[in-house]
Structure 1
Amino acid sequence: MACLRKLSCILGLVVLVPLVCEARVLAPSGFVQVRGTRFFLNGSPFLFNGFNSYWMMNVATEPSDRIKVSDVFREASAAGLSVCRTWAFSDGGDRGLQTSPGVYDERVFQGLDFVISEARRSGVRLILSLSNNYHDFGGRPQYAQWARNAGVAIGDDDDFYTNAVVKGYYKNHLQRVLTRVNTITGVAYRDDPAIMGWELMNEPRCQVDYSGNTVNDWAQEMASHVKSIDSKHLLAIGMEGFYGDSMPDRKQYNPGYQVGTDYIKSNLIREIDFATIHAYPDIWLSGQDENAQTAFAQRWMESHLADAKAIIRKPLVFTEFGKSKKDPGYRISARDTYMNAIYLDIYHLARGGGGAIGGGLVWQILAEGMESYDDGYEIVLPQEPSTNAIISEQSTKMTSLQRTLG
């Protein structure tokens, strides 16, 4: 590790220009685009198998730890994974990107620069999420607390969606991230084709308005703001897929409750380019057996794809799914069976739907030696060959289907 730290210092001081040139040479060409219900890249349909590694910027803040980011991109690329979803936020706290409203830690920003540059080198496209519903890495609660600290009358954290001061904080973050010029590649984020798209928030929820209207109004305002800064990249809201009041009959597909979002209404926003869903039946339906949980996930996917095709008329990405090692009676064979069932459904729906479902992103991939980031869903590809094989097979099938559609 000491050698890595010295090497990074030498590279940073002496070999800056070659690094910039190398990144540009290896950079992906063309921006991912949407036409109707399909993703396209350089004029051809774009289908993918992908993964989540939310931790990348946080880890890359320390130069001696950046090898973990490089390792995951290398291992993921070898498994055919071509899209990665990760955080472009960290609000307050340890290694905070935004340490207070409008104040940014350059050291952390350079960690994100490294993540994007490594994605470019690996040929992996990024979906970058811009905030969090939860208190992890700050998120919505931190924005509300910053406003309270400034003397703003904040009732609860859901004022994030409606308070003008808080919305101003968030818009400033959008501006700072989207216009950031990467210190390694020299390319502004908003001009970088290695970024597939942005997400407004990871899993927005609102307890004071279960209709979905409050989150919808916020998403409309912020989506318009993003597109006023960056018209090149795709944009998603970051929703889990819960149905709201706009089509009450669709609530039957929710797992028995609502979270204050409306999958259909919000994804109809003109500036939103693709819809997303997450599914964690082992949490949402914790009292049911594995067969019931798998069946729920498949119904969840199928109902949302049908709505994406017929009503929303935009592509769908299954941006989070997985099975926890912390589940009672966990066996790696059970996780592999579940993942294989989800992958098969993604493939069959993509084939039958003409590409309306772009792909799935498993939660989550770690590098070796990252036990502190274990959440039960972690996959370390070199250590779990059976799961790696299932992931690689799905990548091959999606690539083959992409060629067929092209």
Structure 2
Amino acid sequence: MKSRVLVLSLILLIQKGEIFVRTEDEDGFIEREGVHLVLNGSPFYGNGFNAYWLMHAASDPSTRNKVPTAFQEASSHGLTVARTWAFSDGGYRPLQFSPGSYNEQMFQGLDFVISEARKYGIRLVLSLVNNYEDYGGKKQYVGWARSNGQELSSDDAFFTNSVVKEYYKSHIKTVLTRHNYITGVAYKDDPTIMAWELINEPRCTSDLSGNTLQAWITEMASYLKSIDENHLLEVGLEGFYGDSYPVRKQYNPTSFQAGTDFIANNQIPSIDLITVHSYPDQWLPGSSNEAQTLFLNQWVNSHIEDAQNILGKPVLFAEFGKSYNVSGYSPSERDQLYNLVYSAVYLSASGGGAATGALFWQLLTEGLDSFRDGYEILLSEGSSTASLVSEQSEKLSSLRKKYAG
């Protein structure tokens, strides 16, 4: 824990006629103490959301206003954490044109996202690359290496090829040492960023033992921490169990293998924060709502138990949701899923356990129809799900005040 002097003064931030009120005890880096996240010595619990589109929208003058609108709507529902992409590799409107070559307009979009998040009291989890080819991902990195003469047979070479790994390390360094053109603060020094994420949903099906990913996470986590010791670091895992704890494999989706190992991967010392994703409608296609609910209950609770008793680190449910595009969908079933995740998080947190929050997938605001995917929540619509989100925010806020007092 870094020592700090807290000054209980008010900071007034004025932009476009709006006044934002913050107290300095809301500033500072979020840190880990055992199974808890703490902010200035008090437990931190984050109710939040995913909005991967933030940089993309902010870099376009015609949609830039959607970012503060989304943050304002989120803040009005008590949300305090947002997870978003700090990558867009190759292709249309990239952040990274090619290895080491960056699009300043996109980077300034990310600068704007970070600046606006601070005004609304929202902390950011920034993901550094995608496992999938959406927005480039490991496929693009491997493609760049092939164009540079590397003979690579699989996209999983992202995790093993020395040239590809140097490309990725260069991206880590570029993002972490970036100075925000609005605030002048380097990303690695900005407490608005809660955590870095190495990769969104890593999978390495060419090595189901998990050894390849274990080595990659170890190397990249150590490299990132050599540049930035201020911020929390998480992998971006979905939570699938592996060979290091075979008794837990019964809780994985049936016959599912991804080359990840929830226990081993998170035991790496440089990893501070554990993540879990939860999509029973995707992982158990065609199954009944009852079967999906049973699976989710076991999935959520087993991961909280393991974070508490085996790993000794806080756990964040970094993605969860239910799509209205799946046959048989009903709003009440979506609410049931949200309630299950939220209740498990609160039960753990209120008992001093390892659960630190949950981020639903995904938040949208009006006018962003191209980003609809069936999971989106528009808080402005005032749905029953939006009410559940607000209720969870209030419960976690009350909990933090109780422990702080």
Q: TM-score, normalised by structure 1?
A: 0.92
Query: 1:49 maps to which residue?
Result: 47
Residue-by-residue CA offset, 1:265-285 (whole Å, 9 max, x unaligned): 010111000110001000101
- Tell me the distance in 2 between the aligned counterparts of 1:305 and 1:129: 22
How much does 1:24 deviate?
12
175 and 359 in structure 1: CA distance in 2 versus 1, 3 angstrom threshold: same
3-state DSSP class of the match of 1:128?
A: strand
Equivalent in 220, 224, 227 of residue 225 of structure 2? 227
- Tell me the distance in 2 between the aligned counterparts of 1:355 and 1:190: 29
Q: Is the 8 A contact 1:72 1:366 kept in 2?
A: yes
Superposition misfits of 4+ residues, deviation over 3 angstroms: 22-28
Within a 5 Å distance, the mapping from 1:167-206 to structure 2 comes to 167-206=165-204
How much does 1:348 deviate?
1.3
Specify every segment of 5 or more residues in structure 1 that has no aligned partner in the other structure, as ranges: 1-16
Q: Is the 8 A contact 1:26 1:120 kept in 2?
A: no
Query: 2:280 maps to which residue?
Result: 281
3-state DSSP class of the match of 2:134?
A: coil
Query: 2:5 maps to which residue?
Result: none
- Matched letter for residue 392 of structure 2: Q
Query: 1:72 maps to which residue?
Result: 70
Query: 1:5 maps to which residue?
Result: none
Residue-by-residue CA offset, 1:94-134 (whole Å, 9 max, x unaligned): 11000101100000000000000010111100000000000
Aligned Cα root-mean-square deviation (Å): 1.8
Query: 2:155 maps to which residue?
Result: 157
Identity %: 56
How much does 1:349 deviate?
2.2
- Tell me the distance in 1 between the aligned counterparts of 2:109 and 2:213: 30
Q: Is the 8 A contact 1:26 1:121 kept in 2?
A: no
Q: Is the 8 A contact 2:94 2:103 kept in 1?
A: yes
Query: 2:258 maps to which residue?
Result: 259
3-state DSSP class of the match of 1:376?
A: coil
Q: TM-score, normalised by structure 2?
A: 0.93
Residue-by-residue CA offset, 1:43-74 (whole Å, 9 max, x unaligned): 10111211000110011111231111111100
Query: 2:350 maps to which residue?
Result: 351
Residue-by-residue CA offset, 1:244-264 (whole Å, 9 max, x unaligned): 111111111111211110110
**Range that drifts further, 336-345 or 271-280:** 336-345
Q: Is the 8 A contact 1:54 1:86 kept in 2?
A: yes
How much does 1:355 deviate?
3.9
- Tell me the distance in 2 between the aligned counterparts of 1:356 and 1:341: 17
How much does 1:341 deviate?
2.3
Query: 1:3 maps to which residue?
Result: none
User: 1 or 2, which has the higher helix percentage?
Assistant: 1
How much does 1:334 deviate?
2.2
3-state DSSP class of the match of 2:222?
A: helix
How much does 1:26 deviate?
8.0
Within a 5 Å distance, the mapping from 1:209-358 to structure 2 comes to 209-256=207-254, 257-352=256-351, 354-358=352-356
Q: Is the 8 A contact 2:308 2:353 kept in 1?
A: no
1:104 equivalent to 2:111? Answer no
- Tell me the distance in 1 between the aligned counterparts of 2:59 and 2:90: 14
**Range that drifts further, 234-243 or 384-393:** 384-393
1:368 equivalent to 2:366? Answer yes
- Tell me the distance in 1 between the aligned counterparts of 2:63 and 2:213: 37
How much does 1:86 deviate?
0.3
3-state DSSP class of the match of 2:66?
A: helix
Residue-by-residue CA offset, 1:139-167 (whole Å, 9 max, x unaligned): 01000111111111111100000000000
